[in-house]
Amino acid sequence: MSERQLYQKFKKKMLKADPSAWVYKIPDWIGGPKRPFDMILIMKGKPFAIEFKSRKGILTRYQAFQLTEFINAGGESLIFTEGQDMDLFIENIIRITNKGGVK
């Protein structure tokens, strides 16, 4: 499954779990600037940076740096890799939102 397909599946399931969540895919531009990560999610005022990886994908140093900077700025950074259980991933986001941190 491609990263784009993972994102589309995630968005559908996330908005079903919480219709008030804001989900934004950072656009891909051929020849454009590097994207820091794939998506921004805001749930109940809590910002999340999410990177989707296919089974073949690896996190670049640039992405790792940007995800860390997002944490340093007060947000949460998560990586979803194909093969993970997406429902559990979304449950973890809800848990983080309700409890205020990664557990």
Tens of pLDDT, residues 48-80: 999 998 887 888 899 999 999 999 999 999 999
Which pLDDT score is estimated for 103?
45
Can you read off the two tokens belonging to residue 14? 């996330």
Q: Would you say 96 and 68 are in contact if contact means Cβ atoms under 8 Å apart?
A: no
Question: How many Cβ atoms from other residues are within 10 Å of residue 10's Cβ?
Answer: 22
What is the value of pTM for the model shown?
0.86
Residue type, 33: P
Q: What is the CATH number of the domain that holds 56?
A: 3.40.1350.10
Domain housing 64: 3-99
Domain count, the chain: 1
Mean pLDDT of the chain: 89
- Among candidate residues 17, 76, 4, the one with its CA nearest the CA of residue 47: 76
